[in-house]
Amino acid sequence: MIVGGVAGGMSAATRLRRVDEDRPIVVFERGEHVSFANCGLPYHVGGVIEEREDLLLTSPPELERRFGIEVRTRHEVVSIDRDRRVVTVRDIEADQEFEQAYDALVLATGASPVRPPLPGIERALSLRDVADLDRIVALLDSGEIRTAAVLGGGFIGVELAENLVHRGLSVSLVELADQVLPPLDPEMAAIVEQRLSDHGVALHIGTGAARITDDAVILDDGSTVPADVVFAAIGVSPESRLARDAGLELGPRGGIVVDDAQRTSDPHIYAVGDAALKRDALDGEPAMVALAQTANRHGRLVADAIVGRPVKAQPVLGTAVVGVFGLTVATVGWSEKRLRAAGRKYRAIHTHPNSHAGYYPGAERMDLKLLVDPDTDAILGAQGVGASGVDKRIDVIATAMRGELTASDLGDLELAYAPQFGSAKDPVNMLGLIADNLAAGKAETIQWHEVEERVSAGATLVDVRTDAEVARGAIPGSLHISLDELRVRHQELPAGPLVVYCAAGQRGHTAARMLTQHGHDAVNLDGGYLTWAQGNRLAGPLSA
């Protein structure tokens, strides 16, 4: 018996049938649709996915015909009797309850939107399923909606904001944190914020909603955001009431505790998807990761566990991607701010390569960040923002992390190359080569947020870019000597520590190596002026 459909539940059901033709399988789904493309819902709101039916992946009759699976929609499992191995089910349409026995029970109950106790929160809409989608589309089709406020700047909030703009609405995005997309570090999120602003989204960052009125949202800072419609995209919490009431072990945030076979504290009950806790790949601690790809993997794994196949759920890396007005934004592993908060040592590497060979038409800048353990050279995380090619690079790094390759190993990966697809030294290779230089002591870098401290301690900033680049912007207080002049003019530099920088870091590395071998105390600014400008929210370089 499976409680809940969509990614985890239906993956478990169909895999189970493929490995066991004779076992009776029944699925109870509270909603009207058992299998739909949850991640595509915002794009039907915006009209990018034009046909609603394209989001409906299969139906109960199709599942019965193809797989012999009994699917009952509009049936809610309301309680579990573990001793008797039966559940109580409510037929929502008939408003009647009945009991059904199980041998193995899979909880795929998902997660529900967080609804903070704000005055007027009942006005806020959430986008969780097809029923929510239908209500939202009908409202927008009424022609009475001109302004929208989205509460929450995470992945779903950003997707909603973009698609509401596509619908012609004036959109405000409210985020309590000091940046959008919390899995990113601030200098990477700054690029996304600039893209949102460039497309007309009014950003209200660092402030939350205090109350919701009939036509506006009043913020904590006292400002008013016009809103004919309000969307709550503040986050999700696991739908674990069934498990809790049945006495199953839960984590501190309500996630269902499972072992490596997704088995709960009851050996006859399993849990998958957003309701179940995962194990973090970096520290082994329980983690809440609400991702469809993970739910699909674990649904398949549970089916194998039920029929007795030895299985082991891999720890999660949290690999995720989102599109924002033509930008691709992707992340894997831990961010720098999370590493700092945990007190874990790390080394950060920023690059700003082209998506493919610069001489081939259409090359666009990417912004990549790699986080590395300075003692073991293990990859701790990566982030990328850019118009194209970002997902490919993050996927390569995620695969390297799963295979336990070191950061330096990235430099020797054999990746597909042609000028319209990449560079002879792919951006992933370049991250690895930089990591190798740092690990071998052939380079020393500082981060954008360390510049002020270094200067205060007496370091001199040396800008080795061209005159034209400097004219477009420079770090205040810098001494300018271009790289091509530096070899003959280095004696003009003052004694004491030097922080060298270029646009993206490569020329700065050459300059720092040259100066060091000429007796200077020189370090390179990681990621150069572009990273420093992003971290300091300077608009020009963000979209260069």
Catalytic residue list: 502
Helix axes 186-198, 528-535, angle to 10 degrees: 70
- Rounded Cα–Cα distance for residues 241 and 13 (Å): 22
Note whether 264 and 256 are within 8 A (CB): yes
Nearest CA to 186 among 372, 335, 330?
335
**Beta-carbon contacts of residue 42 (< 8 Å; ≥ 6 apart):** 127, 156, 159, 160, 162, 163
Helix axes 60-67, 6-19, angle to 10 degrees: 20
- Rounded Cα–Cα distance for residues 528 and 358 (Å): 19
**Beta-carbon contacts of residue 386 (< 8 Å; ≥ 6 apart):** 327, 328, 355, 364, 365, 366, 367, 368
- Rounded Cα–Cα distance for residues 324 and 102 (Å): 44
Q: Can you list the alpha helix ranges (DSSP code H) found in 319-374?
A: 336-341
Helix (H, G, I), strand (E, B) or coil at 453: helix
**Beta-carbon contacts of residue 337 (< 8 Å; ≥ 6 apart):** 185, 186
Place of tokens 């239908």: 134
- Rounded Cα–Cα distance for residues 18 and 175 (Å): 45
